[in-house]
Structure 1
Amino acid sequence: MSSTTLPPSGEQKAIRWYPPSYDIRVETIPIPKIQHPDDAIVKVTFAALCGSDLHIYRGHGGVNKDHTCGHEFIGEVAALGHSYGGDNTGRPSLYSSLKIGDKVVSPFTVNCGECHACRLGYTGRCPEGFLFGSPALEGGQAQYVRVPKAGGTLFNLSDPSTWSSNLSSEGKEKALATLSDSSLLMLADILPTGVFAALQAINHPKVAPIITGKPWPLCFSQNAPSSNQVGLTDEDRILTVAVIGLGPVGICATVSMLDLLSTRQIPYKFVAVDPLESRREKVTAVYKTIDAAGKGNGEFAACSTDEAKDKVKEWTGDVGCTAVLEVVGNTSALTLAYDLVRAFGVIVSVGVHGEPPLPLTGRQVYNKNVSFDFGRCPARAMFPPAFDLLVKRQDVFGGIGQPASLVDQVVDFSQAAEIYRAFDKGEVGKVIFDPWQAQA
């Protein structure tokens, strides 16, 4: 199949960043073209502003080249390279089935879908991968975006048979008929990342004694031999968890963790931490909105940094949290995570960390037997469970501008510079850009 003809003007509007920092401009640039047979051109319906964008915005990303911003976008296929159509046996199914006009959402990184890393599900570290919205690959805060390796990268929302779900085929199709594009856009990054953080924590070996009710290391044996050890008490079986950072990803991690706790019927004590009162109010509204079945049996508190330390000390007798999810990506957040975690606890960090050294000494990590799990979410691999949670939690992910809504507003490109500024200052939460909305 040859590539189609793009709109005749050959130009588009895009949000672009200029070094060294804080310089956002809306410019007219060429519409991207097919450069490789595996490429697709996507006409962007919505693009979002993510907390990770702020690292480059602030000049902390080590980037010195102007580029189109954004790594969260949803849209429809406008052009395809020659690789698409016909028999592509042995390649990802979209090379055979993807068509012009199909509705697609993209994870925030390119994934070939064919290498060892992708086959194992570690799609965020595909050797062919690039991050959208970087000097290496123009971003999605534009009217059109080029997607390399699109057959291994995109999810085809027009053909749900091409991806898995715990929902039935009929359930998937029914959900897709009702979910808004502003909601589906969350599947590009923040919701998979939140689900990833929660799954990494709850499935970590350090959490196994609480999940299984068996002490270490008997918790790893289904047929554990009898032991003369004293059995775990009800208090021992309570999972104490903290989420540090209550921006959009922190909200997603909180909702995901609550869902896992309720589904697995694990009693818990949950502290959500952020220095900004507005974000603490948001997560409190989210918690109150979720029905009893979605948040299970536990206690929940939204706290400032100092309040969190006191609350964890009160709840655990100064033992500490079993698991801490750090979604900020700076050294102070990691220091707090270490302060809150218990000995033999786990810290899961999905925040984007820069060049500064980690703020912990070898003696500190040794003295607590603490485990760390760092790094980028494999967003494409996490799409199925993220989709299922999106469907289940439309009370949080479905609306716009309500107290418990993840998305605060949808704006046109003319407001880009101000929205970046406000988001950087914590004055606004999740914002979506509509590339086609009339400029104010």
Structure 2
Amino acid sequence: MATIASLPQEQSAIRWHPPSYDIRLETIPVPKIQNPDDVIVKVKLAALCGSDLHIYRGHGGVTAVHTCGHEFIGEVVELGSSYGAASAKGRPALYSSLKVGDKVVSPFTVSCGECHVCRLGYTGRCPEGFLFGSPALEGGQAQYVRVPKGGGTLFSLSDPTTWSSSLSNELKEKALTGLADSSLLMLADILPTGVFAAQQAINHPKVAPVVTGKPWPLCFSQADLAPGNEVGLTTEDRTLTVAIIGLGPVGVCAAVSMLDVVTTRQLPFRIVAIDPIEARREKMKAVYAAIDAGGKGTGDFAVCSIDEAKDKVKEWTGGVGCTAVLEVVGNTSALTLAYDLVRAFGVIVSVGVHGEPPLPLTGRQCYNKNVSLDFGRCPARAMFPIAFDLLVKRQDVFGGVGEAASLIDKVVDFTEAAESYEQFDKGKVGKVIFDPWK
């Protein structure tokens, strides 16, 4: 077992107490290595995420006191016996290369990186996985955190050769030295989740006719078939219309990612970004304004309230509806709106965390529209390389703190935890980052 030095016995941590709305700053023991694959990380920054509000409000079905938070970046201070050992051969690269002192960022769930599920890239549902900031696994809103299966979970920001990228190693290293930790922290959850939503939509079979310019099902054919009895697609048919419901931090990331996808592929598009809260709409407008002309493409981008969005989609599509709808809220009213906005043979991609209430859509509704529903947790570790590349590209949005176009509103110390949770819950503040040592 390797350690940086003698660690303290106690630490400060942000803790949730049942039944709801009870956040306390407490002193608890510093975590220790429990299994050979464990890593202890000294947390440099941790973030408050919209998903934290489900437990905060008492809607998560949680009854146990625990340390909050699933977004953190920090430094390795202790390694279990699996690291650097001969037995590390054939295992994920970090079991051989991770060192005490390395800078790391963690996805919001643990993943072993070795099972069938992880090998396919579905890391968010690893059978050995746990969610940080839950009774099953203490969270990262603390000075120190234990990371189980660290070799399959963490990303080493000290050794960019251990993960893939469209950038060269030289450019990756340059980016890592130039990017602020507050920016890199977005790789823990919100940016991979936003990228995941956009990728799920653009690669969905229901979207293929618009992307390929071929009608269903010829859009899946690899052969260059001679024209048959089909009428060619018009410019309108080839225009991708997307609605994004929810403009919290993840929704903004989804919008930025979708813009990047359509401009990179040079697709005609219309995007409507929707939120009932004016402050969030203003944030989205500022983010869009900050993106350079090359990143905006030549399509239409509108930021609307709910009623305005319904009118806008009707105007754009003649009442047909959106090709795809990204639901980034996690409640039944957002899903109802998504169904109202999506076209027949459209797709709803939901990455919001839903609770116990049953889905508001009946089988008849889904059948009558041939609508596809794509639900669930982002496999954040698998999405990390794509998210990193977008983070580097869009530092005009992801690089600052506290500016009109910054995704991060402020960095505070742990003493402001209860107030920050309350303000975030009421929509009075956007992304908040905690500095455990401030």
Match of 1:196 in 2: 196
Match of 1:67 in 2: 66
Of 421-430 and 290-299, more deviation after overlay is shown by 290-299
1:266-305 mapped onto 2 (5 Å cutoff)? 266-305=267-306
| Aligned equivalents of 1:267, 1:35: Cα separation in 2 | 53
| Aligned equivalents of 1:313, 1:272: Cα separation in 2 | 15
In the alignment of these two chains, the number of paired residues is: 436
Match of 1:328 in 2: 329
1:101-140 mapped onto 2 (5 Å cutoff)? 101-140=101-140
**Unpaired runs of at least 5, structure 1:** none
Q: Deviations over 1:124-168 (max 9, x none)?
A: 000000000000000000000000000000000000000000001
> Would you say the 8 A contact 1:3–1:82 is kept in 2?
no
Match of 1:217 in 2: 217
Shift of 1:225: 4.0
Match of 1:338 in 2: 339
| Aligned equivalents of 1:319, 1:132: Cα separation in 2 | 42
| Aligned equivalents of 1:270, 1:28: Cα separation in 2 | 47
Shift of 1:3: 4.7
> Would you say the 8 A contact 2:345–2:369 is kept in 1?
yes
| Aligned equivalents of 2:73, 2:221: Cα separation in 1 | 44
Q: Please tell me the residue identity of whatever aligns with 2:107.
A: P
Match of 2:402 in 1: 401
Shift of 1:2: 4.2
Residue 264 in 1 paired to residue 265 in 2? yes
Shift of 1:222: 2.5
> Would you say the 8 A contact 1:244–1:325 is kept in 2?
yes
> Would you say the 8 A contact 1:13–1:29 is kept in 2?
yes
| Aligned equivalents of 2:171, 2:231: Cα separation in 1 | 46
Query: Secondary structure of the equivalent of 2:237?
Result: helix
Of 21-30 and 292-301, more deviation after overlay is shown by 292-301
Q: Deviations over 1:188-233 (max 9, x none)?
A: 0000000000000000000000101111011111223421111000
Residue 422 in 1 paired to residue 423 in 2? yes
Query: Secondary structure of the equivalent of 1:403?
Result: coil
- The two structures, once aligned, show a CA RMSD in angstroms of 0.8
| Aligned equivalents of 2:296, 2:119: Cα separation in 1 | 33
Shift of 1:5: 4.8
> Would you say the 8 A contact 1:4–1:80 is kept in 2?
no
| Aligned equivalents of 1:50, 1:41: Cα separation in 2 | 22
Match of 1:86 in 2: 85
Q: Deviations over 1:357-415 (max 9, x none)?
A: 00011110000000010000000000000000000000000000111100000000000
Residue 360 in 1 paired to residue 389 in 2? no
1:122-161 mapped onto 2 (5 Å cutoff)? 122-161=122-161
1:47-58 mapped onto 2 (5 Å cutoff)? 47-58=46-57
> Would you say the 8 A contact 2:2–2:100 is kept in 1?
no
Q: Please tell me the residue identity of whatever aligns with 2:253.
A: C
Q: Deviations over 1:211-260 (max 9, x none)?
A: 01111011111223421111000111110000000000000000000000
Query: Secondary structure of the equivalent of 1:235?
Result: coil
Shift of 1:293: 1.2
| Aligned equivalents of 1:56, 1:66: Cα separation in 2 | 11
Query: Secondary structure of the equivalent of 2:175?
Result: helix
Of 356-365 and 81-90, more deviation after overlay is shown by 81-90
| Aligned equivalents of 1:6, 1:337: Cα separation in 2 | 53
Runs of 4+ in 1 over 3 A off after TM superposition: 1-6
Query: Secondary structure of the equivalent of 2:355?
Result: coil
Match of 1:369 in 2: 370
Query: Secondary structure of the equivalent of 2:90?
Result: coil
Percent sequence identity over matched residues?
80
> Would you say the 8 A contact 1:78–1:101 is kept in 2?
yes
> Would you say the 8 A contact 1:68–1:140 is kept in 2?
yes
Match of 1:207 in 2: 207
Q: Deviations over 1:271-314 (max 9, x none)?
A: 00000000001101111111121121111111111111011001
> Would you say the 8 A contact 1:104–1:156 is kept in 2?
yes
